[in-house]
Amino acid sequence: MRRTKIMVVDDEHLIRWSLEQNLKKQGYEVCTAGTGEDALRLAREEQPELVLLDFHLPGIDGLEVLQRLKELDDEIIVIMVTAQGGLETAVNTMRHGAYDYINKPFNLDELGLVIRKALDTSDLRREVVQLRSEHKKLGPPKIIGTSKHMKNVLDMMDKVARSDASTVLVQGESGTGKELVAKYIHFQSNRAEKPFVAINCAAVPATLLESELFGHEKGAFTDAKTSKKGLFELADGGTVFLDEIGDMEVGMQAKLLRFLEDRNFRRIGGSKVIPVDVRIISATNKDLLKAIEEKTFRNDLYYRLQVIPIFLPALRERKEDILQLANHFIDVFTKEFNKSIKGISSMAEKLLVEYSWPGNIRELKNVIERAIILGNDENLLLENLPLEIVAQASQVTMPMATFKLPPEGIDIEEVEKELIKQSLEITDWNQSKAAKKLNLGIDAFRYRMKKFGFLK
């Protein structure tokens, strides 16, 4: 595996030697230079990814070396090493492209943290550039659906993408594709060349969410060893997607509201006001009006977020799109798993349309993926579907001829037991409704419940 190459530039031999030994122990490849002239020559020959550059050098000083290094390669990471008290000088070097600075005498552990953060940031930048390039080639994500519901949603999305609306609220059940909508809006807008960043507000502890969004300055709290940009700053000019906004802690909601009103912020522990231009797309599967009544969501924030509201229908409300989505996922997974399944049998189609899809599109995607993995026929068959889909399709006639017995055979008792269990679960253990699901009389159904231990 290729090792990261670091160049150490310092006129003191002992410092060069000490840093070289320490960095090699950490797994880096290291080259050293004692003058600015040597540093520029080595930079051309060795092409380091990161440079530790002392400001006070004989001949060409550190600032000129920095400027010429950035002319050679604008992506090169330069960390300036300055004498204690040279804060003004250090800040000046950062204006000319230095990533960060560290004062002499320095702590090797602290320097290691600064280097790792710088390299992580560089990797992230490369990933962002690559992702932007890929997204530009692929275009906006494909939204599947021709139902009336989805035509209305698509029309709204296109209007929002073309507008300057700064806040959009996407609401819908879990699994309906809220993040896909956010990405579509971003990549159809004039912000498409800028970053799209997403964060799940429910997945980040409340104590860390503020730092993730606004960033922090070095020393702002115990673990703040270096300064860090937040998502709003990183996404300047682009879009921030706040998923599960309904789970955001009330105190953090107030800080988000202030940002939405002013469009600027201060990093934690900082005094500098940082203005940014970002579109905020929020999403939730919660009833925010109910949350407002329960005092868990701010009324003023709700109305600030939903300048443009988009409501995504549940999959059961757009049954016309189910088979279109299913065939789309078949195309995706047959390529991924190198299968030759081309379509869906007529009985399997009926069951897919009949099913209520509590997990929405996400559940449908998972069902098709499983079916493709397990299926070996030209079409996706009834036997490839989960039992809960077969059991819930009460209005679909399923003659035994549609079932295909696997070569290894089955345990008919286990199949019958599983069907009894599934019918009870999907009817909340209502015995009469469960019996109807399986076209059984209540006495026959209760007999089987007792037989398999579901009734004492």
**What are the DSSP E strand ranges found in 128-188?**
167-171
Q: For residue range 217-236, list pLDDT tens digits in order.
A: 888 887 777 788 899 999 99
Residue located via tokens 């150490």: 8
Phi–psi pair at 212, nearest 5 degrees: -65, -40
Q: How far is CA 11 from the centre of its chain?
A: 45
Confidence check: pLDDT of 131 > 80: no
Q: For residue range 50-73, list pLDDT tens digits in order.
A: 999 998 888 898 889 999 998 888
Top-confidence range, 92-96, 226-230, 237-241, 394-398:
237-241
Please, which pLDDT band fits residue 125 given cuts at 50, 70 and 90?
low
CATH fourth-level superfamily of 162-312: P-loop containing nucleotide triphosphate hydrolases (3.40.50.300)
pLDDT of residue 424: 86
Please, which pLDDT band fits residue 444 given cuts at 50, 70 and 90?
confident
Residues of the chain with CATH 3.40.50.2300: 5-129
From the list 107, 103, 87, the residue with the least C-alpha distance to 95 is 87
pLDDT of residue 455: 82
Residue located via tokens 């996922």: 329
Confidence check: pLDDT of 329 > 70: yes
pLDDT of residue 313: 96
Confidence check: pLDDT of 382 > 60: yes
Average pLDDT in the 118-142 region? Answer: 66
> Which amino acid, 104?
K
Please, which pLDDT band fits residue 283 given cuts at 50, 70 and 90?
very high
Average pLDDT in the 351-368 region? Answer: 94
Please, which pLDDT band fits residue 84 given cuts at 50, 70 and 90?
low
Residues of the chain with CATH 1.10.10.60: 408-456
pLDDT of residue 124: 67
Lowest mean pLDDT among 148-157, 261-270, 411-420: 411-420
Tokens of 176: 């309906």
Q: For residue range 192-224, list pLDDT tens digits in order.
A: 989 999 999 999 988 889 999 999 988 888 777
Confidence check: pLDDT of 1 > 70: no
Confidence check: pLDDT of 262 > 60: yes
Average pLDDT in the 439-445 region? Answer: 85
pTM (two decimals)? 0.63
CATH fourth-level superfamily of 408-456: Homeodomain-like (1.10.10.60)
The C-alpha atoms of residue 254 and residue 298 are separated, in whole angstroms, by 8
Partnered with residue 196 across adjacent β-strands are 239
The C-alpha atoms of residue 147 and residue 145 are separated, in whole angstroms, by 6
The C-alpha atoms of residue 161 and residue 408 are separated, in whole angstroms, by 54
The pLDDT mean for the chain works out to: 87
Confidence check: pLDDT of 245 > 90: yes
Confidence check: pLDDT of 394 > 50: no
Is residue 26 helix, strand or coil?
A: coil
The C-alpha atoms of residue 213 and residue 360 are separated, in whole angstroms, by 30
Residues of the chain with CATH 1.10.8.60: 314-404
Residues of the chain with CATH 3.40.50.300: 162-312
Please, which pLDDT band fits residue 415 given cuts at 50, 70 and 90?
confident
Confidence check: pLDDT of 393 > 70: no
- CATH fold group of domain 314-404: Helicase, Ruva Protein; domain 3 (1.10.8)
Q: Which CATH architecture has domain 5-129?
A: 3-Layer(aba) Sandwich (3.40)
pLDDT of residue 205: 87
pLDDT of residue 141: 82
pLDDT of residue 133: 57
The C-alpha atoms of residue 324 and residue 167 are separated, in whole angstroms, by 31
